[in-house]
Amino acid sequence: MINIEKLHFSYLTGDFHLYISKLNVEKGEKVAVIGPSGSGKTTLLNLIAGIIPVTNGNIRVGETRIDSLNDAQRRDFRIQNIGFVFQDFELLDYLNVIDNILHPFRITRALRLDKDVRERAVALAKNMDIGDKLKRQTNDLSHGEKQRNAICRALLPHPKLILADEATGNLDPENKDRILDLLFQAVDEHEATLLAVTHDHELLKKFDRIVDFRNFQSKEAV
């Protein structure tokens, strides 16, 4: 599902460098990404999703070369194929909970918003224990509720690839296991793939495989 070769990335400022000679993630795998802060874990997810353009190297998601797409093409591909759970949520504070979940369907013609989608959105919210908060503004949510709102939005389009940046980082121990199980359930039901950055080593036993960034050549930006 993900094939990376000779990826070399650096920001215009600072001395951060990320080099990955080769990384493959198979379809249906649930892979955890670990490593020190500043080693490039979030940067890797952003490169795979096409949020940051690739300047050197190849990234393939399915049959699509992400590094060969322009900005608009990367955006459309991401909306249609990738569910991204951002570390800082990326919720829109002028929308309520249900409208944040439905937002991907309102910004592209590639996704069709209909009754079935709306019903799925409500069901997801209920599974995440925010079904009673659908009309609340995101500023009225707790940190953990915002996280669950973001997860619902990522899962709604049935993406083939789910990228999660500390998806359980703001949840209490009981909810961590339950939310991760829901992510795994979505992966299995839709034959998707999960690549998840986490600092919670207690959760690692749940994943099929672990990618440790200490095995890559990188150094922290200053």
Q: Which domains does the chain have, with CATH numbers?
A: 2-219 (3.40.50.300)
- Please say whether the beta carbons of 166 and 87 come within 8 A: yes
pLDDT digits (tens, 9 = 90+) for 198-218: 988 888 999 999 999 988 754
The pTM is what? 0.89
Per residue in 125-141, pLDDT (tens digit) is 998 889 999 999 999 99
Please indicate whether residue 138 or residue 178 has the higher confidence score (pLDDT).
Answer: 138
Residue 189 buriedness (CB in 10 A; 0-12 / 13-18 / 19+)? exposed
Pairwise CA distance, residues 92 & 38, whole Å: 26
